[in-house]
A and B are shown apart, each in its own frame.
Chain A
Amino acid sequence: MSPAAAQPIDTDRLLRDLEAIVGPRRVSMRAVDLDVYARDMWPRLLLAHRDGQPPAHRPHAVVWPEHVREVIAVVKLARAERIPIVPYGGGSGVCGGAVPVRGGITIDTKRMQAMRAIHREELICDVEAGLNGERFERELARRGYTFGHFPSSIYCSTVGGWLATRAAGQLSTKYGKVEDRVAGLTLVTGRGELIETDGPNRALRGPSWTQLVLGSEGTLGVITSARLRVSPAPQLRVFRGFEVDDVAHGLLAIRRVVQKGLRPAVVRLYDELDTLINSLSHSDGSEAASELDDVRAPVPPIDTGALPAWPDPNPPKLGVVERLAKLARGGAGLRAGAMNAALGSSELVNRVFGTVAEKVARRGCRLVIGLEGARIRTEVEAALTFAELEAAGARDRGEDPGWAWLRHRYAVSYRMSPVFRDGAFVDTMEVASSWERLGDLYEAVRRAIGRHAVVMAHFSHAYGDGCSIYFTFAATAPDAASAERVYDAIWRDGLDAATRVGATISHHHGVGLLKAPYMAAEHREAMSLFVAVKRSLDPDGVMNPGKMGLP
C-alpha cells in the first residue's frame, strides 16, 4: 500500500479528466470552494480559522457526482493516478475526518439524495448517502415512519456521514446507534468497484462486511446508499424529569431500568456541577426561562416528530459571558458569573465547584427520561420505567423538565460559534465503558481534563452493558498557538485516562485526525485487522489517506 499523492498533481489535466466524468458544472477548482472543503467542524481547526490563518490543507478539486457511475469513474481515475479521495457529506464532523491532508479530490455526496423506497413489511428504507438528516427524517415522518436517529447535527449532517462515523442520535437507547439500524450498504470501494453488503438478510456466509464498512470514515470506499431499518412513527411520547442524590445513585437507577429490559428512547443524567449551575440560574430548575436565549437554535414543534422550525436568521445581540453560559447549558451548564474565573484558572474552579456541588448544595442531580413508540406498549413500558426509577430512589419532578429538554435538544450546536468568536474555545469528548468501569471513567477523565479546562459532564446513551459519558470542556488562551497546545493537552490526557480504565475513546464522534494517534492504544494488536481490511478494499491507499491511524 503506497501512500497516495506525494508527487505533484497536474491540475489542468485533473480538471479535464473530472469534467469528462461529471461535466464542467459539477467540478470546481475555484479557491473559494477549495477553502470551504478544507475543513469540517473540528474545533481545533476553528482556532486557526478564527485567527485568519489560511487552511493548512486544501483539496485539488471538488466534485459533486449525481450518480454512482460517476463516483466509480472518479475513484478509478484517482486510483490510476494515485490521487487521494476524500468523501464529504455535511461537513459537520468534529474530528477532522474530512480534511484533505494530502490534497486530492473531495467527493461531495450531497447531490445523491434520493429516498428510493420504503419496504413496508420489512421496515427498511433504501436511501442515498447524500441525503440531509433532517430532510430524511421529514420525508419518513410524512410517510408514517422514523429512523429514530436525531443527532444534534441533524440539520447539517448526511445519512452517509452518519454511517461512515457510526454516529449516535439522542434517542439511541431505544433505536440504537446508526450501526444497529443497517440492513445493508452499497459502496464504491477503493478499487473503484460498486458492491453491496449483506442485503436485507443475513443468509450469506462470511464476515459481516456491513459492520466492517460502518465506521470506516471514508478510508475503505465511498458509501453511496444504504438499506436502513425504520420504525413506525411514534404514536405516543412520554417525557419526565427526575432528581437523584448524586451521579452514583443516578447511574444505578438508569442501569436498573435498562437491565430490566425496558427501553426508554432517551435517558440523560447531568452531573452535580451541571445541575447545580442550572439550579442557580433558574430557580425552578427547568430550561423554560432560557427559551429566549435559544432563538438561534431550532425549536421543533413537539407533536411532529423530528421536524424543527428553521433557525431565526436574526438572533438578538448577546454579550460574551451570556453566550458562554448559554453554550455551557447546552451540554451541561455554567453560570455567567463564574465564567471569567473559569477561563483563568480552570483547575481551581473545577475543585471549588466540585466541593460546592458535593458538600454544600445537596440538591442532587437532574435526570431526564423519555419514552416513545406504539401507544399501548409505550404506556406499559413508561409505567414500569418510572416505577423502577422511584424504587431506585429517584424523585419525580414532573413532565416539564422532560419536555423542556426535548424542545431544546438541537440547541447545543448553535451555541458554539459565538464562543469561538469571543476568544474562548469549547469541545466535547464522548467516551463509553461498561457499567462496572463507568464510575472510574468519569472520575479519571474529569480529573485529566480538569487540569486544563472547566469540565462538565452528562451521561446519555445507556445500554444494558454500559453507557457513554459526554464531557463538555471550555478554556481560553491568548493566541491560536497556545490555544492549540492547551487543546491538544486536554485530548491527550483525557483519552489516555479513558484508555487506562478500559473505556473506548469514542462513542459516536469518530476518529478522523483528532483521535488517530490514540488508535494504537485503543485497538492494540487488533489494529492489524483494520489494516488488512484496508488493504483488501483500498489496495492503493487512495481513500481518505492519513486518517484513523492507518499506515
Chain B
Amino acid sequence: MTAGLRTQLVAALGGDHVEDVELGFRVSPGSAAEVAEVVRRAADARAAIHPVGAGGRIATDLDPARVRIFVSTHRLDQVLQLDEASLLVHAQVGLRGSDLEHVLAPRNLTLGDYPASMLASSIGGILAVRTPGKSSARHGFFEDAVVGVSAVLADGRSVHTRVAPRRATGPDLARVLCGSEGTIGVLTSAVLRIHARPEARLVAAYLLPSIDAAVSAVYLALREECSPSGLRIYDAPQAATHFDGLVLPAGQALLCAATAGPTDLATCDRDLVTSAVVAEGGHATDIALAELWWRRVQDGDVHSTSHVQLQAMATPPRLRAVYRAAIAAVPGARAHISRFDADGAVLFLGWDDDTPRAHEAARHAVTSAGGWLLGSRAEKWNSYLRELRAALDPHQVMNPGTLAT
C-alpha cells in the first residue's frame, strides 16, 4: 500500500519532490495541478494530507496507523499575476509575505502596513490560520485583503472563488477556506489587495503619565479618524528592556506612533495623535526612540518578540484591566501593547522568572479580566464545522486532527 502510494507520488511529482519521513511522505508539488494530483492519490489510498507552510514544521504526534502526506508549499512560490491598474496581486501560497514585498517594492507597491513578523510566514500560512493581530489600523485585517482564493478540495477538485471588489452573491466562499487550517482544502494561490507605497512616513514618540492615559490617547486619536500605520505602548519596565538605558518614572508609558500616506494626511494623522496625547496629559519626547522602534518593526521585530512569554488580545474596554491583571499576577512582568485595530489590540507580556507557574498565573489573569489567549477555538461552532467538513471530506483526508474536538 505505502510502496504503491510512493510510486504514484513519484510518478506525479518526480523523485526529487517525494521524501520519506516519519509516518509517511513529504511532497513538494510545483503547481496547483500537482497538488490536486497528490490529493487524489491520498484520497484513493485513504492517506491523510497535512499542508506545511514556510515554517516547514511537521507534526509527529499523529496516529501512526494512517499514512500521512505532508504537502510542503515551498515550490508554489510564483507571482501569477500583478494587476497594477486594480492594485491586485495573484500569488501562490508558498511565497512568504516578505518575498512578495520584495517583488512589489521596486514597483512602488506594498501589501500594506502589516506586522513584519506576520509577513515572515507563507501567504498560505497567514491565510490558513486565524489569529488576532494580523492587521493594521491603516489597512485593516489581512483576511479582508483577500479578494479570492484557489484551493484543492478533498476530492481533488480545484476551486477558484470569484474575484470582485465586493459581491452580493451569497456568502464569501473564500472564507470557508481561510482560517480552516487546511481542513477544507489545500490553498494553492490567493488574490490580494495591495497598495501604493506612501508618499510620506512619519514617526513620533510620546511620554504619558500612565498606561491608562496612553490607551485613552490612542482611542481618542482613532475616534478622530486618525489612521496610523503603527502604534505601540510600552510600560516603564518594557521600555527599559527595549531601549537600553531608558529610564521612565514608574507608572509612566511610552507611546510610539507611525503615520503614512500623502504628506498632508500623514502629517494630519501625526498631529491628531499629538493632540490626543496632550489631551491625556502627555507630551512629545525623543523622536529617536520612535525611529529605532520603527526600524526594528521593519526588520522583523525580532527584538520585541524575543522577550515575550505570552500574547493576549483584548477589546478596547478591557484593554486596561487585562494589562493591570496580568502585571499584578506575575512578579516582574512587563508589557507592550501593539497591533491596534477595530477589534482591540494585542498585549505582549514578558517576565524573567520563566516558570510554568508564572505562565499559568498570567493566563488565568488575562482570561479572568476578559482577555483572549491566542489560539482559542470557536468551540460552539464545533458541530457545524464537523458537518461542513463531513460534507466536503467524508473520508477525513484533509488535515485530520486539526480544529477537531
CB atoms of A530 and B170 under 8 A apart: yes
CB atoms of B169 and A374 under 8 A apart: no
CB atoms of B268 and A177 under 8 A apart: no
CB atoms of B164 and A504 under 8 A apart: yes
Which residues between 267 and 321 of chain B lie within 8 Å of chain A, taking CB atoms?
Answer: 268-269, 271-272, 313, 315-317
Chain A residues with Cβ below 8 Å from B181 are 205-206
The answer for the CA separation of A522 and B163 in the assembled complex, in Å, is: 10
Among A75-83, A283-291, A427-435, the stretch that binds chain B is A427-435
The number of chain A residues with a CB under 8 A from chain B is: 92
From the candidates A122, A201, A208, A436, name the one contacting B86 in the complex (CB within 8 A).
A436
Chain B residues with Cβ below 8 Å from A530 are 170-171, 173
Smallest distance from the beta carbon of B191 to chain A beta carbons, Å? Answer: 9
Map CB proximity to A onto B168-182 as digits: 1 under 8 Å, 0 otherwise.
Answer: 111111011111110
CB atoms of A529 and B165 under 8 A apart: no
Task: Judge if A157 is at the interface, Cβ distance under 8 Å.
Answer: no
Among B232-240, B326-334, B370-378, the stretch that binds chain A is B370-378
User: Which of chain A's residues has its CB closest to B181's CB?
Assistant: A205
**Given A201-B372, A526-B159; A433-B180 close (CB under 8 Å):** no
CB atoms of B168 and A503 under 8 A apart: no
Smallest distance from the beta carbon of B239 to chain A beta carbons, Å? Answer: 25
Task: Judge if B187 is at the interface, Cβ distance under 8 Å.
Answer: no
Which residues between 166 and 187 of chain A lie within 8 Å of chain B, taking CB atoms?
Answer: 166-168, 172, 177, 179-180, 183
**Given A203-B376, A206-B180, A260-B196; A525-B159 close (CB under 8 Å):** yes
> How many A-B contacts at CB < 8 Å in the complex?
274
Chain A residues with Cβ below 8 Å from B176 are 207, 212, 529, 532-533
Task: Judge if B7 is at the interface, Cβ distance under 8 Å.
Answer: no
Task: Judge if A535 is at the interface, Cβ distance under 8 Å.
Answer: yes
CB atoms of B179 and A205 under 8 A apart: yes
Smallest distance from the beta carbon of B252 to chain A beta carbons, Å? Answer: 22
User: Which of chain B's residues has its CB closest to A433's CB?
Assistant: B164
CB atoms of A216 and B171 under 8 A apart: yes
The answer for the CA separation of A502 and B160 in the assembled complex, in Å, is: 12
Task: Judge if A60 is at the interface, Cβ distance under 8 Å.
Answer: no
Chain A residues with Cβ below 8 Å from B381 are 195, 197, 206, 209
Which residues between 224 and 263 of chain B lie within 8 Å of chain A, taking CB atoms?
Answer: 224-226, 261-262
CB atoms of B265 and A506 under 8 A apart: no
Task: Judge if B166 is at the interface, Cβ distance under 8 Å.
Answer: yes
Task: Judge if A376 is at the interface, Cβ distance under 8 Å.
Answer: yes
Smallest distance from the beta carbon of B318 to chain A beta carbons, Å? Answer: 9
Chain A residues with Cβ below 8 Å from B172 are 179, 208, 211-212, 214-215
Map CB proximity to B onto A120-158 as digits: 1 under 8 Å, 0 otherwise.
Answer: 011100000000000000000000000000000000000
CB atoms of A515 and B87 under 8 A apart: no
User: Which of chain B's residues has its CB closest to A178's CB?
Assistant: B168
Smallest distance from the beta carbon of B61 to chain A beta carbons, Å? Answer: 18
Among B11-19, B66-74, B129-137, B357-365, the stretch that binds chain A is B129-137
Task: Judge if B223 is at the interface, Cβ distance under 8 Å.
Answer: yes
**Given A167-B168, A525-B157; A204-B377 close (CB under 8 Å):** yes
Chain B residues with Cβ below 8 Å from A205 are 129-131, 179, 181, 375-378, 403
Chain B residues with Cβ below 8 Å from A529 are 159, 161, 173, 176-177, 184, 392
User: Which of chain B's residues has its CB closest to A539's CB?
Assistant: B387
Task: Judge if A294 is at the interface, Cβ distance under 8 Å.
Answer: no
Q: Among the interface residues B130, B261, B380, B384, which one has the most CB atoms of the partner chain A within 10 A?
A: B384
Q: Among the interface residues B141, B177, B223, B225, which one has the most CB atoms of the partner chain A within 10 A?
A: B225
CB atoms of A207 and B342 under 8 A apart: no
Smallest distance from the beta carbon of A225 to chain B beta carbons, Å? Answer: 16
Task: Judge if A465 is at the interface, Cβ distance under 8 Å.
Answer: yes
Say which size band chain B's interface belongs to: 35 or more
Task: Judge if B107 is at the interface, Cβ distance under 8 Å.
Answer: no
Smallest distance from the beta carbon of B388 to chain A beta carbons, Å? Answer: 4
The answer for the CA separation of A259 and B197 in the assembled complex, in Å, is: 10
Chain A residues with Cβ below 8 Å from B34 are none
Chain A residues with Cβ below 8 Å from B392 are 528-529, 532
From the candidates B261, B265, B343, name the one contacting A201 in the complex (CB within 8 A).
B343
Map CB proximity to B onto A203-233 as digits: 1 under 8 Å, 0 otherwise.
Answer: 1111111011111110010000000010010
CB atoms of B384 and A506 under 8 A apart: no
Task: Judge if A373 is at the interface, Cβ distance under 8 Å.
Answer: yes
The answer for the CA separation of A216 and B172 in the assembled complex, in Å, is: 9
Which residues between 123 and 165 of chain B lie within 8 Å of chain A, taking CB atoms?
Answer: 129-132, 141, 143-144, 147, 153, 157-165
User: Which of chain A's residues has its CB closest to B313's CB?
Assistant: A203
Which residues between 159 and 218 of chain B lie within 8 Å of chain A, taking CB atoms?
Answer: 159-173, 175-181, 184, 193, 195-196, 198
Chain A residues with Cβ below 8 Å from B87 are 259, 435, 464-465
Chain A residues with Cβ below 8 Å from B83 are 434, 436
User: Which of chain A's residues has its CB closest to B371's CB?
Assistant: A203
Task: Judge if A493 is at the interface, Cβ distance under 8 Å.
Answer: no
The answer for the CA separation of A259 and B313 in the assembled complex, in Å, is: 31
Chain A residues with Cβ below 8 Å from B372 are 201, 203-204
Q: Among the interface residues A383, A461, A464, which one has the most CB atoms of the partner chain B within 10 A?
A: A464
Task: Judge if B45 is at the interface, Cβ distance under 8 Å.
Answer: no
The answer for the CA separation of A207 and B262 in the assembled complex, in Å, is: 35
Smallest distance from the beta carbon of A83 to chain B beta carbons, Å? Answer: 22
CB atoms of A533 and B171 under 8 A apart: yes
Smallest distance from the beta carbon of A52 to chain B beta carbons, Å? Answer: 32
Which residues between 90 and 129 of chain B lie within 8 Å of chain A, taking CB atoms?
Answer: 129
Task: Judge if B79 is at the interface, Cβ distance under 8 Å.
Answer: no
CB atoms of B313 and A201 under 8 A apart: yes
**Given A205-B378, A207-B179, A212-B171; A180-B157 close (CB under 8 Å):** no
The answer for the CA separation of A464 and B166 in the assembled complex, in Å, is: 11
Task: Judge if A15 is at the interface, Cβ distance under 8 Å.
Answer: no
CB atoms of A536 and B168 under 8 A apart: no
From the candidates A168, A467, A525, name the one contacting B160 in the complex (CB within 8 A).
A525
Map CB proximity to B onto A467-508 as digits: 1 under 8 Å, 0 otherwise.
Answer: 110000000000000000000000000000000001111111
The answer for the CA separation of A41 and B181 in the assembled complex, in Å, is: 41
Task: Judge if A30 is at the interface, Cβ distance under 8 Å.
Answer: no
The answer for the CA separation of A121 and B310 in the assembled complex, in Å, is: 25
Q: Among the interface residues A123, A197, A203, A467, which one has the most CB atoms of the partner chain B within 10 A?
A: A203
From the candidates B88, B132, B170, B374, name the one contacting A519 in the complex (CB within 8 A).
B170
User: Which of chain B's residues has its CB closest to A505's CB?
Assistant: B169
CB atoms of B86 and A206 under 8 A apart: no
The answer for the CA separation of A505 and B168 in the assembled complex, in Å, is: 8
From the candidates B195, B224, B343, B380, name the one contacting A374 in the complex (CB within 8 A).
B224
**Given A206-B180, A261-B265; A532-B388 close (CB under 8 Å):** yes
Smallest distance from the beta carbon of B281 to chain A beta carbons, Å? Answer: 18
CB atoms of B178 and A207 under 8 A apart: yes
The answer for the CA separation of A107 and B172 in the assembled complex, in Å, is: 25
CB atoms of B264 and A507 under 8 A apart: no
CB atoms of A195 and B380 under 8 A apart: yes
Task: Judge if B344 is at the interface, Cβ distance under 8 Å.
Answer: yes
**Given A166-B167, A201-B343, A463-B165; A435-B86 close (CB under 8 Å):** yes
CB atoms of A215 and B153 under 8 A apart: no
Starting from the known contacts A203-B374, A207-B179, A255-B85, 5 additional A-B residue pairs (CB-CB under 8 Å) come to A201-B372, A203-B376, A377-B268, A529-B161, A530-B170
Closest 10 CB pairs of A and B: A466-B165, A203-B372, A504-B164, A434-B86, A532-B391, A536-B387, A204-B378, A211-B175, A166-B168, A121-B316
Binding site for B on A (CB under 8 A): 119, 121-123, 165-168, 172, 177, 179-180, 183, 189, 195-198, 200-209, 211-217, 220, 229, 232, 255, 259-262, 373-374, 376-378, 380-381, 383-384, 432-436, 461, 463-468, 502-511, 515, 519, 522-526, 528-533, 535-537, 539, 548
List, sorted by A's number, 25 A–B pairs whose CB atoms are closer than 8 Å: A196-B380, A201-B344, A202-B132, A203-B313, A203-B376, A205-B376, A207-B175, A212-B171, A262-B265, A373-B225, A374-B225, A377-B226, A381-B265, A384-B265, A435-B87, A464-B165, A467-B165, A507-B166, A511-B169, A523-B161, A523-B169, A525-B159, A532-B176, A533-B171, A535-B391
